[in-house]
Structure 1
Amino acid sequence: QMIERFKERTAWHGQTVDANPSGGNKFRGIYNIVLKSIGAARKRHPDVRLDYAIEYGERMQKPGYYFMDSPG
């Protein structure tokens, strides 16, 4: 659900989720956001896990690692 909403927001601006890298990313050879995300995921420590995905402004209910869908 969050991924579909992100794709929709990106489309509002005539872009796709995999084709909107920053200038610095392009300079360093990262040509799309997918590659950047894969790199970030591979660098994490194996003990780090994602426990919850919550909406912007939603309160955390329990201890753990969260992803918050937020603007910008």
Structure 2
Amino acid sequence: MEHMESNSLRSLKPKTLTHREIEVLKWSAEGKTAGDIAIILCLKERTIHFHIASAIQKMGVCNKTAAVVQAALHGMF
């Protein structure tokens, strides 16, 4: 039974995120808004939203909070 659980957990591993996607999720975990992150990284707020949406899609989750939680659980930051 334990072997089956580890296989199913492995299948939940998200696709590889880019450095920027991880960075944006890390700042989100710190409580920063998209506007805050845009200022910190010298990017447009729209670009931050793009990276968040990309991470959400790659991880197969429904929202930014879930993406942040999954990234943290997988040791991405």
What TM-score comes out, normalization by structure 1 length?
Answer: 0.27
Higher relative contact order (CA 8 A, sep 6+): 2
> Bigger radius of gyration, 1 or 2?
1
What TM-score comes out, normalization by structure 2 length?
Answer: 0.26
Structure ranking higher in strand proportion: 1
